[in-house]
Amino acid sequence: MDDVILSLEGVGKIFPGVVALSEVSLSIARGETHIVLGENGAGKSTLIKLLAGIYQPDSGTIAFNGAPYEPKTPHDAQQSGIRIVHQELNLLPYLSIAENLMLESLPRRAFGIVDRKALNRRAVALLKEVGLDVDPRTRVEALGVAQMQLVEIAKALSYDSKLLVLDEPTATLTPPEIARLFAIIKRLKAKGVTIIYISHRLHEVFEIGDRVTILRNGRLVATRDLHGLSVPDIVRMMIGRDIADEFGFDASVVPGKVALSVANLKRDAATPEISFAVRHGEILGVAGLVGSGRTEAMRALFGADPKLDGAIEIDGKPVAITAPKDAVRHGLSLLTEDRKGQGLLLDLAVDKNITITDLGKVSRHGLVNRRAEAAAANDLVAQLRVKASSIEQAVRNLSGGNQQKVVLAKWLFRGTSTLILDEPTRGVDIGARREIYQLLWMLAAAQKGIIMVSSDLPELMGMCHRIIVFSKNKIVGEVPRAEFDQERILSLAYQEYVRP
């Protein structure tokens, strides 16, 4: 490797209780697209935060462009030409796209007045570069997640970045959006931009990556040319063992009677009615593009958002659900797509998160029995193999996969007959993901009804007995397992959008 843009020598970072990174040495060549893979907790986020100037290394050195690189703040990092597109988008929703793009150096006229013309002109140019065809005066809140992602990338480009770090950019994107993102990445690469690309989706990295670095438990396992590697090779390096079948479809689990049926559910005057049902012991997939109304339908069903009309039956009996507490009382559980914002009490401990769904179970006369609570929490933590230093650890400090397990644990603690899971494996690493799949099969075998909303089509096709497809708030089709076909499901998902 002749031209190294970024090099790490023996870099380590320790937090009280955890060695986040240890002795990581790595060289990134100028102009390459370098993939970084690893399970959650492997050290990817820490690595990014070191580059971003959010953390400082405890040991080792980093050199960028041949000079020592020691950013103390994210601003320092940007000044040096390293730009990071974080997984959680950092846009200001009430400002326009153009203002977001150039927030750090708005073009000015005399007396510090913003030069709107220049602002919008430059914004148009930047948006063109990432292939986003929207008016730069649009407020960011009006955009979809995929578009926001592109705005973030455009923003990164606006600063003449030499090194662009993309942290799981495809986590919320649909296949066509991913294809477009990849086209942009390739174009940037052709222009000489060096890219570090972090992902959980193994299949996609081959398309854009030159080399791959794999982290495990804070240590660097290997850096290799992607050419000649296979997915199983990578998985083996990531988790240190083979994974035969990720999903583990269990043919012995046979759906029984209808557990939950929804008839003519209407959210508001503008959206069409929807009807569907899930059986006991069935995993029902819900496919569709991001923004196709899947999440909204599930939230309305659960009583999280208001609905106009609709008949819900549980085990054949009609039930009235106007608030989440009604749904929970009738044995429904909802794992939301936003686990930090809506699923967890981040600053509270693991045990308190688990028992929140039914404190009555571990209390008497209104007093919490801490011993019973700890016992119940410890049981579930062991059963779900939650990696935590103890049940007293704040869930904020757990990795994404372990946080998701805590959300599942809280519903298992309550006891549930039908689970609605919205993007249950988003941001979850492959090892924890597989454990979640296994758990779902265990629940299905125990005759629970499971509704699984996901943007990851291979996941749905691997896990589900049936898939219903949303397109523009409508259920446009239902595909049984025997007829699963990626193309067919995708064309259903697009159906309502391509029609005039």
Partner 1 sequence: MTETSEPLVSAPVSPGRAKFLRFLIRDAGVLLALVLITLFFSVSAPYFATPGNALKIFVQIAINTVLAAGMTFVILTGGIDLSVGSVLALCTVVGATVMINESLSPAAAITLALLACMATGAVCGFLNGWISTRWKIPSFIVTLGMLNMAAGAARVVSDNSTITGLPQSFVDFGNLIIGGFLPSIFLVAVLVIAAGWFVLRFTVFGRMIFAVGTNDEAVRLSGHNPDFYKVAAFTISGLTAGIAAMVYLLRLNIGSPIAGVGYELNAIAAVIIGGTSLSGGKGSIIGTLVGACILQVLSTGLQLLGVGDNFKPIVIGLVIVLAVILDAYRERLLRRIR
State the residues that interact with partner 1 by CB under 8 A: 14-19, 217-218, 240-241, 302, 304, 323-325, 327-329, 334, 336, 341-348, 352, 356-357, 359-360, 363, 366-368, 383, 385, 387, 389-390, 392-394, 396-397, 410, 414, 435, 438
What's the token pair of residue 219? Answer: 């240590």
Q: For residues 169 and 449, which CB has a smaller minimum distance to partner 1 in the complex?
A: 449
Rounded to a whole number of angstroms, the minimum distance from the CB of residue 456 to partner 1 is: 22
Task: Measure the CA dihedral 190/195/200/201, to 10°.
Answer: 0
Could you tell me if 392 and 350 are in contact, meaning their C-beta atoms sit under 8 angstroms apart?
yes
Q: For residues 152 and 435, which CB has a smaller minimum distance to partner 1 in the complex?
A: 435
Distance of CA 28 to the CA centre of its chain: 26
What's the token pair of residue 31? Answer: 């102009």
Rounded to a whole number of angstroms, the minimum distance from the CB of residue 359 to partner 1 is: 5
Rounded to a whole number of angstroms, the minimum distance from the CB of residue 361 to partner 1 is: 11
What's the token pair of residue 220? Answer: 């660097």
Rounded to a whole number of angstroms, the minimum distance from the CB of residue 55 to partner 1 is: 11
Q: For residues 65 and 342, which CB has a smaller minimum distance to partner 1 in the complex?
A: 342
Could you tell me if 97 and 136 are in contact, meaning their C-beta atoms sit under 8 angstroms apart?
yes
Rounded to a whole number of angstroms, the minimum distance from the CB of residue 427 to partner 1 is: 17
Cα–Cα distance, 78 to 159 (Å, whole number): 8
Rounded to a whole number of angstroms, the minimum distance from the CB of residue 250 to partner 1 is: 14
Could you tell me if 486 and 457 are in contact, meaning their C-beta atoms sit under 8 angstroms apart?
yes
- DSSP structural state of residue 173: -
Q: For residues 438 and 495, which CB has a smaller minimum distance to partner 1 in the complex?
A: 438
Q: For residues 69 and 437, which CB has a smaller minimum distance to partner 1 in the complex?
A: 437
Rounded to a whole number of angstroms, the minimum distance from the CB of residue 156 to partner 1 is: 28
Q: For residues 311 and 323, which CB has a smaller minimum distance to partner 1 in the complex?
A: 323
Q: For residues 35 and 395, which CB has a smaller minimum distance to partner 1 in the complex?
A: 395
How many Cβ atoms sit within 10 Å of the Cβ of residue 419?
24
Rounded to a whole number of angstroms, the minimum distance from the CB of residue 441 to partner 1 is: 11
Q: For residues 134 and 345, which CB has a smaller minimum distance to partner 1 in the complex?
A: 345
Q: For residues 207 and 347, which CB has a smaller minimum distance to partner 1 in the complex?
A: 347
Q: Which amino acid would we find at residue 356? A: I
Rounded to a whole number of angstroms, the minimum distance from the CB of residue 32 to partner 1 is: 30
What are the backbone dihedrals phi and psi of residue 444, each rounded to the nearest 5 degrees, phi first? -65, -40
How many Cβ atoms sit within 10 Å of the Cβ of residue 206?
15
How many Cβ atoms sit within 10 Å of the Cβ of residue 237?
18
Rounded to a whole number of angstroms, the minimum distance from the CB of residue 357 to partner 1 is: 5
Rounded to a whole number of angstroms, the minimum distance from the CB of residue 439 to partner 1 is: 8
Contacts (Cβ under 8 Å, ≥6 apart) of 287: 294, 454, 457, 460, 467, 468, 469, 470, 489, 492, 493
Cα–Cα distance, 90 to 274 (Å, whole number): 34
Cα–Cα distance, 321 to 104 (Å, whole number): 47
Q: Position of tokens 């996609």? A: 204
Rounded to a whole number of angstroms, the minimum distance from the CB of residue 369 to partner 1 is: 10
Q: For residues 14 and 29, which CB has a smaller minimum distance to partner 1 in the complex?
A: 14
List the 283-287 sheet strands across, edge first. 332-335, 418-422, 449-453, 283-287, 466-471, 474-480
What's the token pair of residue 306? Answer: 């208001």
Q: Which residues of 34-45 are buried (b: 16+ CB within 10 A; e: fewer)?
A: bbbbbbbbbbbb
Region label for 160, one of left (φ > 0), alpha (ψ between -120 and 50) or beta (otherwise): left
Q: For residues 99 and 435, which CB has a smaller minimum distance to partner 1 in the complex?
A: 435
Angle at 130 between CA 124 and CA 135, to 5 degrees: 35
Q: For residues 271 and 336, which CB has a smaller minimum distance to partner 1 in the complex?
A: 336
Could you tell me if 313 and 319 are in contact, meaning their C-beta atoms sit under 8 angstroms apart?
yes
